[in-house]
A = this chain, B = another copy of it.
Amino acid sequence: MIVYFRGMRTRDDDKQTALFEATIKVVNDIGFAASSVSKIAKEAGVSPATLYVYYKNKEDLLVSTYIDIKQDMSRELLVGFDPDGPLRDIFKQVWIQLFEYIAENSSCFHYAEQFANSPYSQLVNTQEIERYFEPLTQVLQHGIDQKIIKNVSFDILKAFIFYPVMMLANPKHCQNFDSSPENIETAFGLAWDAIKF
């Protein structure tokens, strides 16, 4: 066991955070294709070489950033999640929280979308990501068993519950959509009509 009577220079959490945020900002500003390690480092206020202290390489930087976002997103989505409540309420809560997450973290969300559309996406273990969202899948199955939700494949259900939110909450796609609580509720109404038995 090594004990230091005088500590060495330690890794700087601020720098890690700065790099994380810079990655998202740069990618959102100029796009995945044009984002370079040097631009991200400059945005973070560190030397490009420093970036390699915190990340193995560009791929690691982009992939780690994506995974961190996805983890954070699933956490936000499932705040106050209660699998024993009424199904419609569960989904409404998740739906609204997803909407709010996207609206409030639009840059993170957009980064994740760009990442998922890039060839880097093949480098992440999709199953691991999906595990974050497993509680939702279980509730869906429960709804199907109780004949509350249509007995169609998960892919179809997800396509109607979550995909439209992503569009509506993203000002890039829906500039006209006014995200007042009423409008969000209205939109959820359509989602529920789609999947309910």
Interface residues of A (CB under 8 A from B): 1-3, 5, 29-35, 113-114, 117-120, 150, 152-160, 163-168, 174, 176-178, 183, 186-187, 190-191, 193-196
Check A34/B155 contact, CB under 8 A, given A150-B190, A160-B164, A164-B160. no
Residue of B nearest to A121 (CB): B172
Chain B positions within 8 Å of A196 at CB level: 193
Q: Are A187 and B118 in touch, CB under 8 angstroms?
A: no
A190/B5 in contact, CB under 8 A = no
Closest 9 pairs between A and B when the two form their complex, measured CB to CB:
A194-B194, A159-B164, A31-B119, A33-B33, A32-B33, A190-B194, A155-B174, A155-B177, A159-B167
Contact A32 B195 (CB under 8 A): no
**A156:B187 contact, CB within 8 angstroms:** yes
B164 touches A177 (CB 8 A): no
**Cβ-closest chain B residue relative to A47:** B8
Q: How far is the CA of A135 from the CA of B183 in the complex (A)?
A: 25
Q: Known contacts being A1-B5, A167-B163, is A152 close to B187, with CB within 8 Å?
A: yes
Q: Which residues of B contact A193 (CB under 8 A)?
A: 193-194, 196
Docked CA distance A59–B32 (Å): 15
Give 5 A-B pairs besides A156-B190, A160-B191, A164-B164 with Cβ atoms closer than 8 angstroms. A2-B5, A32-B117, A156-B187, A160-B160, A163-B166
What residues of chain B lie closer than 8 Å to A164, measured between beta carbons? 156, 159-160, 163-164
Q: Which residues of B contact A195 (CB under 8 A)?
A: 190
Residues of B within 8 A of A165 (CB): 159
In angstroms, how far is the closest chain B Cβ from the Cβ of A169?
A: 10
Distance of A173 from chain B, by nearest CB (Å):
8
CA distance in complex: A124, B5 (Å) = 40
